[in-house]
Each structure stands twice: as C-alpha cells, then as structure tokens.
Amino acid sequence: MKLVTGNSNRALAEAIARYLNLPLTDCTVGRFADQEVNVQLHENVRGEDVYILQSTSAPADGNLMELLILTDALRRSSARRITAVIPYFGYARQDRRATGRTPISAKLVANMIAGAGVNRVMTLDLHTDQIQGFFDIPTDNLYSAPVTTRDIKERYDVGNLMIVSPDVGGVARARGIAKRIGTDLAIVDKRRPRAGVSEVMNIIGDVFGKTCLLIDDIIDSGGTLINAADALLEAGAREVSAYITHGVLSEGACERIGASNLRELVLTDSIQDTEAQRQTANIRRVTVAPLLGEALARTAREQSVSSLFD
C-alpha cells in the first residue's frame, strides 16, 4: 500500500499517513517555468496498491491536472491499482443542465479521471449523490456525519438543539445528523433571485429559544449561511452555529463570516485552510483524517467501508 499526495492539501495527507503509520511516497509534484505540472516518482511502485490523496479545490484546474498527471505517472510505472482519494470533488455543483447551452462539468471531470487510469474513486460528502453514477469505475462516497455528530455531542446540550437545513436541497443531509443526535429538524425556505444572491423567505419549524446548528456540504461566499443565521435569530433562536464539510470560502467570505451573527462555523479539513481562515475567530476546524484513513485501510484489506457509517 502506497500513499501519494499532490499539493492541494498536504497537511491532511500527512495526517492520514500518520493514522495508517505509513510514509508518504517520495515524489516531486512541481511546475515548469511555464506552469505546466511536472511529476517525478522517486520510489518503485510496480505492483503496488496506490492511493492518491488530492482535493480538487482552488486552484481547481491546477489541482485536477496534478491528480491526472500523478495517475498517468503511476500507471506508466506499473502500479497494480490506483485509487483517487478526493476529499473535495471540484466541479460537483455543475452536475446538471440548469439552463440551456451549459455543460455538465462534473461528468466531464469524472470521465477525465477514469480516462487517466484511476481504478477506484473515494470522495467525501459529494454535493449530490448521483455524481457517483457519473463514474464508470467503483466509487465510494464517504460521509463526515460521524465526525460532525461526535463533535456536536461533545460540545452542546442535545436537549435544546435544533438541526437546520439552510435550503430544501440539503434536507436529507441535515435529517441524517438530526437522526443520529436524536433532535428535531427545521428548514430554511430560501429563494434565490439571481445567481450568487440568496434571500431567505421563511423558517419551517419552531426554533424559538433553541440553539440552532446549520448543516451543509459546501460554503463558498457565505451569503446563504449568513442570511439563514439572521432569519433564525429573527425567529427567536437563542444562537446559531454551522457545521459545513467543505470550506471553499472564496475571496471575502472569511471577513463576512467574522462579521456575521454566526457564533461558530465548524469546517472539516477536506480543503487546506488559508491564513484568512486561521485569522477568523469564529471559524474552527475538525479533522476527517481518521475517517479517511480507516476507509483506506478497509479498502486495502477488501473490507466493508459502508459499515463505518452504520
């Protein structure tokens, strides 16, 4: 079993390697002068079961190319099996044709990854479950729910909690957390007048006097989450925090989160944090390294991965 990492999230890769008590494979993933990706493996991988640890977060195109070129290098070096471990799968939000004359970029990326020679894909909290079907190779979509649930139980009085979905599309995800904790579920009815702008219209459920926890898979600009928190507080919630798997947090998002009414935003380390995130007082991170490490170990031993989430 060999672990290889690109440059997207080396800290997470090192944490997974420590969990598995394995070293990261010695390789160079750099750039030529014209910024083309340059990969060189410095260890023999012939006949090995190799796992590439690489999120396709920003810069998405560069990190995706690192993944593809690492795969090609491993395939040409006679690796027995190549598994792409992609904690954050970029382009996942482009999973359908919402309007005419637009691409389905998530399917295109899936084709590129399989075409490069990947034998299996492992992801974390895909934006939509049907993206698994975009791959013509075995795909495991893991869930951060066990990590989130454990942190919530350690830090909150479950008896006064309300789990909240920030939109109708995320109800299944939020309901799963609410079921694990044994608490009620509320929904924010969100209307979006135009792309990138969200407007909260109504709260479905009684949140008066409750500690509300917003649950979602991705936070980008932060507008949806901030508007949802404001609406919940206006409806009588005692305080509002959020648990989000993937902290995309595009430019200016950290400042908006820091100035918002969110008591705390909890992110996993599926995406490498930035200095702006580290400087924002109400952003905290939990690690998914043990979860991913255990899933990798079970895959290598040909054991069940789904039993991790039973």
Q: Tens of pLDDT along 263-274?
A: 999 999 999 999
Backbone angles phi, psi at 207, to 5 degrees: -110, 5
- The single residue of 153, 179, 190, 210 carrying the catalytic annotation is 190
pLDDT digit string (tens) for 205-244? 999 999 999 999 999 999 889 999 999 999 999 999 999 9
CA distance 74 to 87: 20
Same topology between domain 2-143+290-309 and domain 145-287: yes
Residue positions forming the annotated binding site for D-ribose 5-phosphate: 192, 216, 220-224
Q: Which of 66, 8, 60 is nearest to 36 (CA)?
A: 66
Domain boundaries, the chain: 2-143+290-309, 145-287
pTM: 0.94
Cis peptide preceding 59, ω within 30 of 0? yes
How is domain 145-287 classified at the CATH fold level?
A: Rossmann fold (3.40.50)
Among 54-58, 190-194, 301-305, which is the least confidently predicted range?
A: 190-194
Q: What angle do CA 172, 175, 179 make, to 5 degrees?
A: 140
Residue positions forming the annotated binding site: 34-36, 93-94, 127, 167, 192, 216, 220-224
Residue positions forming the annotated binding site for Mg(2+): 127, 167
From residue 163, give the alpha-carbon distance in Å to each of 160, 182, 210, 256, 265.
10, 10, 10, 22, 14
CATH architecture of 2-143+290-309: 3-Layer(aba) Sandwich (3.40)
Band of residue 39 on the pLDDT scale cut at 50, 70, 90: very high
- 190 annotated active-site: yes
Contact partners, residue 249, CB within 8 Å, separation at least 6: 219, 220, 222, 257, 274, 276, 277
| Mean pLDDT value across residues 20-28 | 97
Band of residue 200 on the pLDDT scale cut at 50, 70, 90: low
Band of residue 197 on the pLDDT scale cut at 50, 70, 90: low
Contact partners, residue 108, CB within 8 Å, separation at least 6: 91
